[in-house]
């Protein structure tokens, strides 16, 4: 894989990850762009012990443009996009409308003594999986999945070195039902200046399990139990297992986990990275086959924090959809949005059975 970094017209970084060693990526960005926005503002919620990001500049971000104006397609004579090259394999660049940024301005003023405020220092990146606007991740060849995985590992390591970054989160949103604003196949990476609430909760459970068991890894133990039971396993190979969690929150939710506990994507071996692609592509095609239509989904990589309790984590991908039937979506209504308590419409065992048969 060839890695080439360039600078866009407004100073943001773009990195090409090419599968050809002879790829030349010297095309300049010919646009005239305003300076990137300053970092968002973080406000602390004392009632939930959580940080909330205020990124008001994102209100004007690009929203579902026509295909001939897609900013993630390669540039051409009639379109100057975020990608200056006329083609690419995988490209990663700083988000033009970031929730977190290293471009920190003045320290924000205090709101109340109970609400500390600080800059949203970090970084947000866009990951373009292919230059084909009409493609989907499920239609990529295994080699491209490996390139994407290598790019995510590269960025996880690099972003973890940035000042103030505490956690790196790689994910893909697919489908307008999920809320995507660009149709082109792409994912995102958030480098957070704090450990996220979901990860803190998982680390707390893992810590208590380790104390009870004399050092056991909670996720590894749960994975071993699911593999032994087999009831909710959808697909598996030598290095990975994809299973529906016994307490799945979403109508169709699958965890894809390596058998060997590793904290993050950079920790995967070449063999593990190669084995991921065929299994994941199989799983995505099963999702699309459930109702014979493109399945809206979120694919979220759960990685260890950058600096704390890394030994408690176990890398895994959480793939889930809000579609609960061909003509029905799962909305986060009163119980889920108000109280954070999920009520599932599909039994995990039945979901696994449907996915195995898809």
Domain boundary among 177, 194, 211: 194
> Three-state SS for 138?
helix
Domain stop point among 166, 194, 222: 194
Number of structural domains (the chain) is 2
Query: Taking residues 114-133, what's their average pLDDT?
Result: 97
Whether residues 227 and 120 fall in one domain: no
Which pTM value belongs to this model?
0.97
pLDDT at position 46 over 90? yes
119 and 189, same domain (yes or no): yes
What value does the mean pLDDT take over residues 70-76? 98
- Secondary structure (3-state) at 186: strand
What is the residue range of 10's domain?
A: 2-194
Percent of the chain with pLDDT over 90: 98
Note whether 214 and 172 are same-domain residues. Answer: no
- In terms of domains, do 25 and 132 share one? yes
Please identify which of the residues 133, 183, 184, 186 carries the catalytic annotation.
Answer: 186
Residue 1: CB partners within 8 Å, gap ≥ 6? 17, 18, 19, 147, 150
225 and 183 in a common domain: no
Question: Which region holds residue 313: left if phi is over 0, alpha if psi is between -120 and 50, else beta?
Answer: beta
Is residue 186 part of the annotated active site? The answer reads yes
Annotate 92-101 with b (16+ C-beta within 10 A) or e (fewer): bbbbbbbbbb
Instruction: Write out the two tokens for 217.
Output: 């890894």
Give the contacts of 25 (CB within 8 A, at least 6 positions apart).
4, 6, 16, 18, 85, 88
Statement to judge: residues 92 and 124 lie in one domain? yes
Asked whether the predicted pLDDT for residue 237 surpasses 90, the reply is yes
Alpha carbon 18 to chain centroid, angstroms: 21
Percent of the chain scored above 70 by pLDDT? Answer: 100
pLDDT of amino acid 105 = 84
Say yes or no: 24 and 148 in one domain. Answer: yes
Q: What is the per-residue pLDDT across 179-209, written as a single tens digit (0 to 9) for each?
A: 999 999 999 999 999 999 999 999 999 999 9
Residues 255 and 312 in one domain: yes
Residue 297 has pLDDT above 90, yes or no: yes
Kindly report the backbone phi and psi dihedral angles of residue 310, in degrees, each rounded to the nearest multiple of 5, phi listed first: -65, -30
- CB count, 10 Å around CB of 233? 18
Say yes or no: 168 and 202 in one domain: no
Burial class (CB in 10 A: 0-12, 13-18, 19+), 162: middle
How confident is the model over 249-278, as pLDDT tens digits?
999 999 999 999 999 999 999 999 999 999
Same structural domain, 17 and 157: yes
CATH number at 223 reads: 3.30.428.10
Domain end residue (candidates: 194, 216, 231): 194
Give CA angle at 96 (91, 97), nearest 5°: 130
Does 287 share its domain with 168? no
Same domain as 234, residue 186:
no
SS3 annotation, 154-169: HHHHHHCCCCCCCEEE
């Amino acid at each position: 894989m060839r890695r080439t970094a360039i600078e866009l017209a407004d100073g943001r970084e773009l990195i090409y990850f090419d599968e050809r060693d002879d790829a030349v990526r010297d095309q300049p960005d010919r646009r005239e762009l305003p300076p990137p926005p300053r970092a968002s503002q973080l406000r602390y919620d004392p009632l939930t012990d959580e940080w909330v990001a205020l990124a008001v500049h994102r209100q004007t971000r690009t929203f579902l443009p026509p295909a001939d104006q897609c900013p993630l397609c390669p540039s051409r004579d009639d379109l100057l996009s975020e990608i200056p090259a006329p083609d690419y394999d995988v490209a990663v660049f700083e988000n033009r409308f970031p929730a977190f940024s290293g471009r920190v301005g003045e320290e924000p003023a205090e709101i109340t003594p109970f609400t500390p405020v600080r800059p949203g220092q970090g970084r947000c990146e866009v990951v373009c999986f292919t230059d084909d606007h009409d493609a989907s991740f499920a239609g990529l060849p295994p080699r491209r999945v490996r390139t994407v995985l290598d790019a995510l590992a590269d960025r996880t390591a690099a972003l973890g070195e940035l000042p103030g970054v505490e956690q790196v989160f790689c994910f893909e949103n697919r489908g307008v039902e999920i809320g995507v604003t660009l149709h082109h196949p792409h994912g995102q990476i958030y480098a957070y200046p704090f450990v996220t609430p979901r990860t803190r909760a998982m680390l707390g459970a893992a810590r208590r399990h380790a104390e009870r068991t004399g050092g056991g890894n909670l996720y590894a133990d749960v994975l071993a139990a699911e593999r032994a039971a087999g009831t909710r396993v959808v697909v598996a190979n030598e290095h990975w297992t994809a299973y529906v969690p016994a307490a799945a929150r979403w109508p169709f939710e699958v965890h894809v986990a390596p058998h060997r506990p590793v904290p993050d994507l950079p920790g995967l071996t070449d063999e593990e990275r190669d084995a991921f692609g065929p299994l994941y592509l199989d799983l995505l095609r099963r999702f699309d086959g459930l109702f014979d239509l493109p399945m809206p989904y979120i694919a979220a990589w759960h990685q260890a924090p950058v600096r704390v309790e890394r030994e408690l984590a176990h890398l895994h991908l959480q793939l889930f959809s809000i579609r609960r039937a061909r003509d029905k979506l799962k909305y986060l209504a009163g119980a889920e949005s108000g109280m954070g308590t999920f009520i599932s419409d599909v039994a995990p065992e039945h979901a696994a059975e449907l996915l195995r048969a898809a």
